[in-house]
Structures are given as structure tokens and as C-alpha cells.
Amino acid sequence: MRSNLRRGAMIGLVVAAAACQSPHVGPITAVVPDSLAIRRDIFYLASDALGGRLTGTPGNDSAAAYIARRYAALGLQPMSNGYLQRFVARPATRGKAPPSVPTQNVFALLPGRDPALRGQYIVIGAHFDHLGTSIEGAMDPEAKGAVRRGADDNASGTAAVLELARLLAAAPTRRSIIFANFSGEEEGLLGSAYFVEHSPVPIDSIDAMLNFDMVGRLKNDRLIVYGVATAKELPALLDSANAPVGLRLTAQGDGFGASDQSSFYAKDLPVLHFFTDLHDDYHRASDVPEHINAAGEARVVTVAERVAREIGDRPGRLTFTRAVAAAPVGATREGSDVYLGSIPDMAGDDTPGLKLTGVRAGSPADVGGLKAGDVIVEFDSKPVTDLFEYSNALYAHKPGDEVGIVILRAGQRLTLHVTLGKRGS
């Protein structure tokens, strides 16, 4: 990694010069991504001192305070009551009432330079929480008491957002930018779900959300970007942004997925999720800063800055599209390949049932009439009071089964008949 730092800086200089030649993306600032700064942020956030940043712990609070100080040092503006958006997270807990865990998101504002467009916003975000010593969700549950420091997941994404804040603050775009860091992602996208329901700006004034989750392990120059189908302009825009950087770009997918962009896509907003792929250290105590490719992450930041500037400076807004996605490949429970296409609202509330934050376009749930905001209370005559009962009821079936699903919609009880699909088809 260290031998690549100087090379990363030289690449950044070449990219800055080449940007002026792009027919689609405007010139970027002479300030280039700093891989050493990225590395420093990751080493602090994933240090033993922060204990893995589990939501509701002192280490998570310390990470939030660190991020807020960084934004203040850049001269970014606090929003509402400061840089912290405090809320109570209720992580899903099997068979128990969800506990109340006080925590906070962190966000800051960079006002746009154009008075006519300053009231439109881009959100650039990442979650900063991880697993701590909890074995819930850990891939190495046998390592009891081990600190899962989450260097790639997601100190790397947090560092990317901080570096983008530095770069964009040096030369603001026409639109305003909100830099947002979410807590509670590992507990079910809780922080981003709270953000979109308590947005500091009107939700329809947000043009796009760029999410960074696990961007610290660039290998073989391969960058994955999900959500490219959520606005018709995004494929060409992303290709143009990457052209001078030369990463092997894999752009795919609708806006739903296991990270915070899902909360924004459920509100009909264009989204992109930048990702350098899974690895053997995922959700393990071995996800440590020494494995981070900081120079590679700086290249990802270069592409992302160009994307942000194009969206921020374009005369018109992106054209949102509800992407039709194929059923995910792979099973989620004991080898079952049954598929509905519902997106649970993991933030939830105290209402019995499973609330949906959305449904995948073209899925059995969509075809059967399920919608965002519906609360499933029965699945094939079995009561549903939480995610676990819903999962048990769903995976008792096979593809092709027709089931009755009882929902609450705007206080009205409805029964829908849905034919279940098959994953990967």
C-alpha cells in the first residue's frame, strides 16, 4: 500500500489535467485526493480506541464527534441544531421488544455558488458505525470479545466522504451539497432511514444521493457502482467521469441494496453506491486498517468527485427512473430460492407487522400490488408481527406458490394475492 501512495498522487495530477478535456464533466479543482489523509482518517476511525463504533457506544459517539470536528475545520455549515442529528435507534432483535439506543447522524452543508440552484441538494454519505464486539452479524462469531474494527466497513466510506468534503469545499458546485454520515446502518439502515424521514431540507429538493460503503479495497482496478439505472443520465455521466481515471467500471442495479442509498431510493431519488467488492475480512475482526488500499481509494474519490461536480453543475435535474431489477441471485434462508421483492423498513416503529420501505420494480410484490408504506400483518394466514415471523412464513413456501398477504394501508385492511417468484430469474 505505502509504495502506491506517490503513484496515486501522480495519477491525481494527471486526472486533474485531463478533466479539462472531458466533453461532459466540467473541470475539477486543482486540489487532488490525498491518500495520506484518507489513510489517517481510516486509522483513527478503525483504531482500538473507538472499539469498533457499535451504535450506541462511546466509540460510536467519539467517531461522530471526530467527523463533526473535521467538517467544522473545513468551514462547512452546521444544519438545524448543529452538526449532529440525534435520534433513538431501535435495532431489530429476535423475539424481543427492540431496545432504545441513543445515537446520532452527522451532517454538514456546503452552500452552492449559484443562487438560482442553491436550493437544490446532493447528499454525499456513508455510514460510520460497525459491529464493535458484538457477534450479531459477525462472520467470525467464534471470536467472542474480539473488536471488529471495520476499517473497510465503513471507515473507508467515511474517509471518502470527508475527502470529498475537502475537495468540493475548495471549489463549490452550483447546487448545495449535504455531507452526511449515518449511524445504525449495521442495525438495518436506521440512520439513513431517520434522515430521510427528518430531512433538514425538503426531500424533493434533493437531486441525488451518492453513497460510499466499503471503498477501501480496490483490487485489479475494479470499481462497482450500483444504482446507475435510477436516472437516465447516470450511465453516460459515470462513464465520462471514469474515462481519465481508467478504472474497470462495473455499473449495474437498481437503487435498493444492503446499504444507505436504499433509504433515499425508496423516496424516488436517484442514487449511486460506490463499492470495491466483498473480501474475506468482511464483518470479521481481521478488517483492519493495514489492509486498506489508500491510493486505490483516492482513485475512487477522483471518479466520485467528477460525478458530484457534474450533477452539481448541470443546468437541469437528473431524470429519476424506477429501475426494473432481476430477482437477486442466491438464497437468504436455508437454501430457499423463493422471492417476493419486498424491502422491509428496518427502522420500523412499535406497530405490529412488517412495514415496507419499498418494493422492487417488476417483482412479485410489485405485480401483486404491494407498495411502500404497506404493513404486512398476515402472510398466507400466518400472523406477522415482525421481520422474523415474516421470514419464517415466506421461506415455508416455494416459487410459484400463490399466497394471500394481508396488509394495512392508510389504516385500511386489504388482502392481496401474490404469486411468489424465484431468485435469479
DSSP for 133-171?
A: T--TT-S-TTSTT--B--IIIIIIHHHHHHHHHHHHHHS
CA–CA distances in Å: residue 193 to residues 87, 124, 127, 348, 377: 11, 15, 12, 9, 21
C-alpha cell at 31: 486540489
Q: If we measure between CA atoms, which residue out of 257, 259, 260 comes closest to residue 229?
A: 257
pLDDT at 22: 36
Q: What is the dihedral of CA 113, 118, 122, 128, to 10 degrees?
A: 80
Residue 310 C-alpha cell reads as: 457534474
Region 2-313: CATH code: 3.40.630.10
Q: How far apart are CA 104 and CA 89, in angstroms?
A: 9
Q: Are 342 and 370 in contact, with CB atoms under 8 Å apart?
A: yes
Task: Indicate the pTM of the whole model.
Answer: 0.80
**Mean pLDDT, contiguous 10-residue spans, the chain (425 residues):** 36 37 46 95 98 97 98 94 90 60 96 98 98 92 94 98 98 98 94 95 98 97 95 97 96 87 95 94 96 98 98 97 63 62 71 85 93 93 84 88 95 94 77
Question: What's residue 358's pLDDT?
Answer: 84
Q: Which CATH number applies to 338-422? A: 2.30.42.10
Give the residue extent of every domain in the chain. 2-313, 338-422
Question: What pLDDT was estimated at residue 45?
Answer: 98
Tell me the C-alpha distance between 114 and 51, whole Å.
42
Model pLDDT, residue 324: 66
